[in-house]
Amino acid sequence: MTVHQTASRILTYPGEYDNVIPEDISLAEYILNEIEKFGDDIYSTNSETKQNLTFSQIVNQTKALAAGLQIKFGVQPKENIAIVLPSCLEYPVAVLGVNYCGAAATLINPSQTISELKHAIKLTNPKVWIGTEEFSTKFHELFLNAAQRPPLIVLTNKADHPSTWAGLLAFGQGKPVRRPTINSKEDTALILFSSGTTGVPKGVSLTHANYIAARRQNVELTKNIPKNPEDLNTVMLPLYHTFGISSIFDNMVRGLRFILVPHFTFKNMLEAIQEYRISIMSVVPAIATQLVKQPVEQHYDLSSLRLLFSGAAALSKEIQAGLVEKFGCFVFQGYGMTESTLRTHSNFIGSSRDGSIGTVMPFCESIVVDPDTNRALGPNEEGEICVRGPLIMKGYIGDEEATRHTIDSQGWLHTGDIGYYDEDGFFFITDRMKELIKYKGLQVSPTELEQILLNHPEIMEAAVAPVPDEAAGELPRAYVVKLPGSTLTEDDVAKYVADKVSPHKRLRGGVVFIKSIPKTATGKILRRELKLSSKL
């Protein structure tokens, strides 16, 4: 797969910026160097417990955790450490502490099922796990043989666990940390999981250089914007999501205060905005839609909101306009993916266009190609959006074939999204080649659900396709062909899947029994036809 490119059709950031990326330094060391100057300023506040975390506490706890991991558990550079935590103040310390050892932080959704967790173990084989007391039940089920069970560091107030978070921090306090030798362009800093059309989540290997470049991007974008000490930030995505963890890091580097809403509900979010006078918020379109459609302004004082960033899925022009009209705030839509660390295109202050995902961002190049010929296209010609640069992942863990299919020989990452750019370099997404369903910004693989459905003894054929939903974006719906004589009901099928997947993958779009699945001559499911039928 080779892109037939023309230099003039490779788009870059339209402004000037310092493109230096520090080398041979870990992400954690880079961030700690940047935040030490903020000292005892409050970095984050838990909106429920009111507990605060200062910048100096992040520095001290990161180093204590790293020392504890090295001395007590023998953690070495390049080893994988699983972080299976809900959104909490300890999350960034866990990631940075693992990173400070030179190890890779493997971020896992704590609501994953046993089978999903086993897949993560197969890919990454973590040496040590960090989780909650609630997760320990799943952990023991994963490792039934206690003698072969890896260490689990538990966030708990109880003292009867062999390894607790507080105990490990106390053990590591004041002890020296062996500084690892880092090849920042090759060594993995974080592993995140991104669903794929092959049906199982892929482990995305992101290097120290990837994450440092993303932080440098944010610094360059905001260097001429004065920091307002009154600004309070929040993000409405879990911290194991690339949008969530990157927002945490970007706030850190700028010295901004972050309000953590640990148990997200729409009500909890609104209460936090009102109580703390949150001014800057990152959301997904599902949340943006609810803000517009519901009369929230009648029940909550949201007048502090002045800047909203939307990502993880496409935001409609209508919803964007509704946000501006209702709250009088700036709304900027951006674009990126786990495989590109975070942001490759975005609208920003002084450079914005309605309905667009924005221009190319610093530390990135972008091109649009014909999906059939890979020929580079010009303005207003629709094709696949590709990106390249220091933000692009190292590859998929244990899947060289998928990596080669995604990143070509010239370094272009093929996003699977169809779109175009206009004469001014603003990009627009019009469709998605990839078949992933996006439920509230979270990815759902149709193939994964189909494989589960086909394991049911009374299901002969199955296909999963999205149905549009105003609040959530898309909902997965199953189309099922039953075996003759089967008494299977729609509820039976939905429950069968729900018992085997994470909550966001459930068949919230319903189950439809049909006589046959539309397919191509080569047997590929025609999901486009199923999507069209859902709109009839």
**431 pLDDT above the threshold of 50:** yes
Q: Is residue 45 within 8 Å of residue 260, measured between CB atoms? A: yes
Query: Is 196 within the bounds of a domain?
Result: no
**Among the listed residues 246, 251, 217, the one whose alpha carbon sits nearest the alpha carbon of residue 19:** 217
Q: How far apart are CA 248 and CA 244, in angstroms?
A: 6
| Beta bridge partner(s), residue 281 | 234, 308
**61 pLDDT above the threshold of 80:** yes
| Beta bridge partner(s), residue 367 | 386
Q: Is residue 371 within 8 Å of residue 378, measured between CB atoms? A: no
Query: Is 203 within the bounds of a domain?
Result: no
Asked whether residue 356 falls in the same domain as residue 473, the answer is no
Average pLDDT over every residue of 129-138: 95
- Residue 158 is which amino acid? K
Asked whether residue 427 falls in the same domain as residue 525, the answer is no
What are the Cα distances from residue 73, in Å, to 28, 46, 70, 80, 103?
A: 19, 30, 6, 12, 12
Q: Is residue 86 within 8 Å of residue 359, measured between CB atoms? A: no
Q: Is residue 340 within 8 Å of residue 363, measured between CB atoms? A: no
Average pLDDT over every residue of 148-159: 90
All residues at 6 or more sequence positions from 221 whose CB lies less than 8 Å from its CB, including other chains: 348, 361, 362
pLDDT at residue 515, as a whole number: 92
pLDDT at residue 281, as a whole number: 94
**519 pLDDT above the threshold of 80:** no
Query: Is 290 within the bounds of a domain?
Result: yes
pTM: 0.84
pLDDT at residue 313, as a whole number: 72
pLDDT band at 536 (very low <50, low <70, confident <90, very high): low
Residue 249: CATH number of its domain: 3.40.50.12780
pLDDT at residue 3, as a whole number: 66
Q: Which tokens is 224 given?
A: 């001429």
HEC sequence for 239-260:
CCCHHHHHHHHHHHHHCCEEEE
Query: Is 524 within the bounds of a domain?
Result: yes
Average pLDDT over every residue of 157-173: 89
Domain end call among 432, 452, 482: 432
List, as own/partner pairs, every contact residues 417-421 make where C-beta atoms lie below 8 angstroms and the sequence separation is at least 24, other chains included: 417/384, 417/385, 418/371, 418/382, 418/383, 418/384, 418/385, 419/357, 419/368, 419/382, 419/383, 419/385, 420/368, 420/377, 420/379, 420/380, 420/381, 420/382, 420/383, 421/11, 421/366, 421/368, 421/379, 421/380
Asked whether residue 282 falls in the same domain as residue 266, the answer is yes
Range of the domain at 475: 437-534
Q: How far apart are CA 334 and CA 321, in angstroms?
A: 16
- Provide the b/e sequence for 117-148 (b: ≥16 CB within 10 Å): bebbbebbebbbbbbbeebbebbeebeeeeee
Q: Apex CA 418: angle with CA 534 and CA 409, to 5°? A: 135
What tens digit of pLDDT does each residue of 237-264 get? 889 988 899 999 999 999 999 999 999 8
pLDDT at residue 290, as a whole number: 83
Q: How far apart are CA 119 and CA 202, in angstroms?
A: 9
Asked whether residue 270 falls in the same domain as residue 417, the answer is yes
Residue 490: CATH number of its domain: 3.30.300.30
The rounded radius of gyration (Å) of the Cα atoms in the chain is 23
Asked whether residue 140 falls in the same domain as residue 252, the answer is no
Residue 156: CATH number of its domain: 3.40.50.980
What tens digit of pLDDT does each residue of 64-87 get? 999 999 999 999 999 999 999 999
- Residue 529 is which amino acid? E
How do 52-54 and 128-132 pair as beta strands?
unpaired
pLDDT at residue 482, as a whole number: 93
What tens digit of pLDDT does each residue of 293-332 get? 888 999 999 999 999 998 877 777 888 899 999 999 999 9
Asked whether residue 322 falls in the same domain as residue 381, the answer is yes
pLDDT at residue 233, as a whole number: 95
DSSP track, 118-172 = HHHHHHH--SEEEEETTHHHHHHHH---GGGPPPEEEE-S-S-SSSBHHHHHHHH
**197 pLDDT above the threshold of 50:** no
How do 188-194 and 52-54 pair as beta strands?
unpaired
Q: What percentage of the chain has pLDDT greater than the value 70?
A: 96
Whole-number mean pLDDT of the chain? 91
Q: How far apart are CA 35 and CA 386, in angstroms?
A: 34
Asked whether residue 458 falls in the same domain as residue 402, the answer is no
Q: Which tokens is 242 given?
A: 């690339």
pLDDT at residue 523, as a whole number: 55
Asked whether residue 105 falls in the same domain as residue 169, the answer is yes
Domain end call among 416, 432, 448: 432
Query: Is 137 within the bounds of a domain?
Result: yes
Asked whether residue 289 falls in the same domain as residue 397, the answer is yes
**2 pLDDT above the threshold of 70:** no
Domain end call among 432, 458, 483: 432
Q: What percentage of the chain has pLDDT greater than the value 90?
A: 73
pLDDT at residue 417, as a whole number: 87
Q: Apex CA 286: angle with CA 285 and CA 287, to 5°? A: 90
Query: Is 85 within the bounds of a domain?
Result: yes
Number of domains in the chain: 3
- Residue 129 is which amino acid? W
Q: Sign (positive/negative) of CA torsion 441, 92, 139, 133?
A: negative
pLDDT band at 527 (very low <50, low <70, confident <90, very high): confident
Query: Is 308 within the bounds of a domain?
Result: yes
First to last CA, the chain: 38
* Segment holding 64, helix H or strand E: helix 55-73
Query: Is 197 within the bounds of a domain?
Result: no
pLDDT band at 198 (very low <50, low <70, confident <90, very high): very low
Q: How many CB atoms lie within 10 A of CB 487?
A: 7
Average pLDDT over every residue of 464-491: 93
pLDDT band at 520 (very low <50, low <70, confident <90, very high): low
Asked whether residue 225 falls in the same domain as residue 117, the answer is no
**522 pLDDT above the threshold of 50:** no
Q: Apex CA 252: angle with CA 251 and CA 255, to 5°? A: 85
pLDDT band at 521 (very low <50, low <70, confident <90, very high): very low
Q: How far apart are CA 340 and CA 366, in angstroms?
A: 12
Average pLDDT over every residue of 269-273: 96
pLDDT at residue 199, as a whole number: 58
Q: How many CB atoms lie within 10 A of CB 198?
A: 16
Q: Is residue 34 within 8 Å of residue 218, measured between CB atoms? A: no
Average pLDDT over every residue of 433-454: 84
Asked whether residue 317 falls in the same domain as residue 445, the answer is no
All residues at 6 or more sequence positions from 190 whose CB lies less than 8 Å from its CB, including other chains: 27, 95, 99, 104, 105, 106, 107, 206, 211, 245
Asked whether residue 134 falls in the same domain as residue 245, the answer is no
pLDDT band at 430 (very low <50, low <70, confident <90, very high): confident
